[in-house]
């Protein structure tokens, strides 16, 4: 299990709005390169984002499905990693004030070869990737919040 945390200068509502916008998924998830479709009920439990992963021209079709959702608090996803297996990603939002939210991102392999890799190796790959994902999420959420305040 790999965990990264970031304090984002935006409300939990603004952060969750980015997560709830399935079309923004490729904007903050490192490796997702193209959104092919978003179920209309996203981010309800059981709904999915259909996306491509990887650089062109070797993109592969993947799907990410909501396992659990609590508005402005939690989004837990089942993400496919092509031939590498699948992972559960839990994003927990902790409000620290009106415009500050701590986001915890925990990623745990649940199937395929990724699950067999030793934890230090998984962490070496996932920690920088997920740190970048939270940095992108922070930029998108802070931008959303500033648009509302103007």
Q: Measure Cα distances from 145 to 8, 9, 13, 87, 131 in Å.
A: 11, 9, 9, 30, 21
pLDDT(149) > 90: no
Question: 58 or 49: which carries more pLDDT confidence?
Answer: 49
Neighbours of 44 (CB within 10 A): 11
> Residue 23's closest CA among 43, 45, 9?
43
Taken in order of first residue, the domains within the chain and their CATH numbers are 2-149 (3.30.530.20)
Question: 81 or 49: which carries more pLDDT confidence?
Answer: 49
> Residue 59's closest CA among 34, 30, 26?
34
């Amino acid at each position: 299990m790999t965990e990264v945390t970031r304090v984002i200068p935006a409300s939990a509502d603004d952060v969750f709005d980015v997560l709830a916008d399935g079309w923004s998924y490729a904007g903050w998830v490192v490796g997702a390169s193209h959104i092919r479709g978003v179920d209309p009920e996203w981010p309800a439990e059981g709904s999915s984002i259909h996306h491509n992963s990887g650089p062109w021209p070797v993109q592969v079709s993947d799907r990410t499905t909501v396992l659990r959702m609590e508005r402005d608090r939690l989004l837990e996803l089942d993400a496919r990693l092509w031939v590498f297996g699948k992972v559960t990603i839990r994003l927990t939002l902790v409000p620290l004030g009106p415009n500050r939210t701590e986001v915890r991102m925990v990623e745990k392999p649940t199937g395929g070869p990724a699950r067999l890799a030793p934890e230090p190796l998984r962490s070496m790959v996932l920690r920088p990737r997920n740190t970048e994902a939270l940095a992108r999420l922070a930029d998108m959420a802070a931008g959303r919040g500033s648009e509302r305040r103007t």
